[in-house]
Amino acid sequence: MTTQNSFTPFAVRDICCGLEKVRTSIQRRLIVAIVISQLVLAIGLIDVAVFVTRAQLRKAFDVALQGRAMSIAALVRYSEDEPHKLFFESDLTPPPLEAGVPDLYEIVANHRTLIVRSSNWPAKIDVGPPKGERWIATYVVNGIPYRALRLDHIPVLDREGDAPASDFLRVTYASPIDPVNQAVNNVLLYIALGSLVLLAISGGFAFWALRRSLRPLAALTASAGAISTSNWELNPPEEALGTLELAPLTQAMTSMLNGLHRSFTQQREFLANAAHELKTPVAILKSTLQSLLQRPRTSDEYRAGLEEALDDMARLEKLLHSMLRLARAEQWAAGNLRRDLTPVDVGLTCQLAIERLQAVAQQRDIKIDFTANGPIRLPADPDDLELVWSNLLENAIRFSPMGETVRMSVHSNNGQSCVEVVDHGPGIPASELPRIFERFHRADTSRARDTGGYGLGLSISKALVEAYGGTIEPHSQPGEGTRMVVTLPVQR
């Protein structure tokens, strides 16, 4: 498996179940994002730096150009021989800004008379018409880029005695701009190299910091990995608890685990209970068969023994069925009541239950009296309701003296449907009342045993009623019979 892990830049590939799954790595994504944003930032910074540097250098260059222009303008003198004749004192020409590459200059007096032009002044250069006092432009002369400055209307500095200064000069001076470009390129190079180094350092730092800040996640993963059916406690490590982003995850995991633990415990308890309660019926069946085999018997005896075993089986089956029904009802009561329930008539389910128990009642000469106060409908599964009423009626019949009447009535009360089952049996002592809904609780001894009850009926009824959001209440006094009242909300 691990040999399949090839480190691609953005994803870790591994082969699982024959399918190639590509897993993205948050860490890698974050590092890539950081590096890209830093790169953008660096490029932006370089741009700005180059722009500013170039502007600064140009400005300085222009100042130097102006100085040159002024200094050559100062070399224009009046001739001593010819009055008002201007000439250029070429001996004093300043050295070029860049050694080896001569500057270009031209001085024109009063827009008419060319006073001087540098020897390398190109034949074809169009400085164009006058464009104000001061003008600046860039030219390429003989393959070398020049920056030119033109100053107009500069008075001749030289004074000829008391003559009025009426002559004006137009000075054009150009120097190669290469040194400036060179300097800008140098700056660009230095900044770019520096940025690259810083980028590498900060990328490395980001990698390290991310690793470090993802450590709580790894720790949380480790503690989540320690969860098992014998250990439901999530022990979130301190670093995970102290991490803002992990707190909701930790919380969600804890509550999920609690829910799972509850339901797991419930299931396990049910299983333990079921196993425990099955022991007695299994012991009965086993003892029936073993005692049958203890000595040779006649075929009639074998037949009788097998019939007994079948009876035992039937009881076992009934118990199993009841336990499953109870488990399901309790699961619903715990909040998992499913279903798209359609409204059913409560009175009708009562009548069905009465019909079902009529035979048992007749056996004991017991009359079942039923009154319904109008149709009451509520959303429910009719089978569930019928089972609840059957269980209540069965108890009422079982504990009623022969020839008595069991009363069952349905009425509505404040948006609730109310079903009562009343018997005239011996009643339930106050000390027993809280226990009658306990699983496997049996009120009386031999009678309950003979009818095959396992003490699950009332537990099932209670769980079912609660699953529908209702209540079931026993009212009883010893010697005065028992009244069971079931209240079910009509609207859920």
Map the footprint of other proteins across residues 193-222, applying CB under 8 A: none
> CB of 288: closest distance to other proteins in angstroms?
5
The smaller minimum CB distance to other proteins, of residues 166 and 431, is found at 431
* Stretch of residues binding other proteins (CB under 8 A), selected from 30-38, 115-123, 271-279, 331-339: 271-279
Q: Other C-beta atoms within 10 Å of 416: how many?
A: 17
The answer to whether residue 451 forms part of the interface with other proteins (CB under 8 A) is no
Among 282, 304, 306, 310, binds other proteins (CB under 8 A): 282
The answer to whether residue 445 forms part of the interface with other proteins (CB under 8 A) is yes
The smaller minimum CB distance to other proteins, of residues 365 and 444, is found at 444
- Residue at token pair 């049910």: 270
* Stretch of residues binding other proteins (CB under 8 A), selected from 25-33, 140-148, 288-296, 361-369: 288-296
Map the footprint of other proteins across residues 306-325, applying CB under 8 A: 308, 311-312
The smaller minimum CB distance to other proteins, of residues 159 and 449, is found at 449
Please measure the distance between the N-terminal and C-terminal CA atoms of the chain and give it in whole angstroms: 54
The answer to whether residue 280 forms part of the interface with other proteins (CB under 8 A) is yes
* Stretch of residues binding other proteins (CB under 8 A), selected from 53-61, 99-107, 216-224, 443-451: 443-451
> CB of 286: closest distance to other proteins in angstroms?
5
| Distances, alpha carbon 451 to alpha carbons 252, 321, 381, 390, 445, in Å | 50, 16, 27, 15, 11
- Exposure of 252 in the CB half-sphere (CA atoms within 13 A): 5
> CB of 292: closest distance to other proteins in angstroms?
9
The answer to whether residue 287 forms part of the interface with other proteins (CB under 8 A) is yes
The answer to whether residue 291 forms part of the interface with other proteins (CB under 8 A) is yes
> CB of 425: closest distance to other proteins in angstroms?
17
The answer to whether residue 81 forms part of the interface with other proteins (CB under 8 A) is no
The answer to whether residue 435 forms part of the interface with other proteins (CB under 8 A) is no
The smaller minimum CB distance to other proteins, of residues 312 and 423, is found at 312
The answer to whether residue 430 forms part of the interface with other proteins (CB under 8 A) is no
> CB of 229: closest distance to other proteins in angstroms?
20
> CB of 289: closest distance to other proteins in angstroms?
9
Among 6, 119, 290, 299, binds other proteins (CB under 8 A): 290
> CB of 443: closest distance to other proteins in angstroms?
9
Among 45, 52, 283, 324, binds other proteins (CB under 8 A): 283
The answer to whether residue 491 forms part of the interface with other proteins (CB under 8 A) is no
The answer to whether residue 339 forms part of the interface with other proteins (CB under 8 A) is no
The answer to whether residue 286 forms part of the interface with other proteins (CB under 8 A) is yes
**Which residues lie near other proteins (CB under 8 A)?**
276-277, 279-280, 282-288, 290-291, 294-295, 308, 311-312, 442, 444-446, 449-450
